[in-house]
Amino acid sequence: MTLLLIYGLAVCIGVLVTVVPIMNGANTRVLGTIRVSFFHYFSASITGVAFLLFTASFGDIKRLPEVPIHYFLGGILGLSVILLMNYYSVRIKALHIAILLFLGQMTMGLALDYFLFDKLNVKIIIGLLIVLLGLIVQSESKKSASSSKT
């Protein structure tokens, strides 16, 4: 049951990851990229602090000095992702973006799962290949559907 909930939450991440850039994209037309990005991070930080208060997790701040320095790289990498996406998203097809991004995530994901989390097995690799096949079928159908309209 708990695992089912976690699967559901993972799908919810996919919903959020799709909806947030669309909303930010609409706001960008009025405010411009820099202000939208600032508002995004401002609101996210305030929300984050509110979550810290509600969950009484403020005490964890005391542990920050003990954290290995490379654990903080997530924030810097997140910024690099935004800048990289801004560069290539207007230069290549949406189909290639979806597939190449997925392949990149999978390459690193498999390596990290093997070396760091010890969660890699043959079932996961076969499943991934099927997911990739599904992604290609879905994306190709989208392409042919939009080209038949024109």
Partner 1 sequence: MAKLLAYFTGLVLSLMVTFNGLLSGFTSAYLSNVVYHAFGLVFFGIFLCLLKKQTTTGAFKWYYLVPGFLGSLTIILNNIVLNVLGVTLMIAFTLVGQVITSLVIDHWGLLGKSISRSTRKQWFGVGIMIIGLATMVL
Interaction residues for partner 1, span 87-146 (CB under 8 A)? 87-88, 91-92, 96-97, 100-110, 112-113, 116-117, 119-120, 123-124, 126-142, 144-146
Which of 1, 30, 65, 150 is in the footprint of partner 1 by CB under 8 A? 30
Range 93-117 burial, b when 16+ CB lie within 10 A, else e = eeeeeeeeebeeebeebeeeeeeee
The answer to whether 80 contacts partner 1 (rule: CB under 8 A) is yes
Shortest separation between residue 138's beta carbon and partner 1, angstroms: 3
Q: What angle do CA 89, 91, 95 make, to 5 degrees?
A: 65
What backbone torsions phi and psi does residue 56 show, to the nearest 5 degrees?
A: 55, 40
Q: How many residues bind partner 1 (CB under 8 A)?
A: 110
Residue 1 vs 77, nearer CB to partner 1: 77
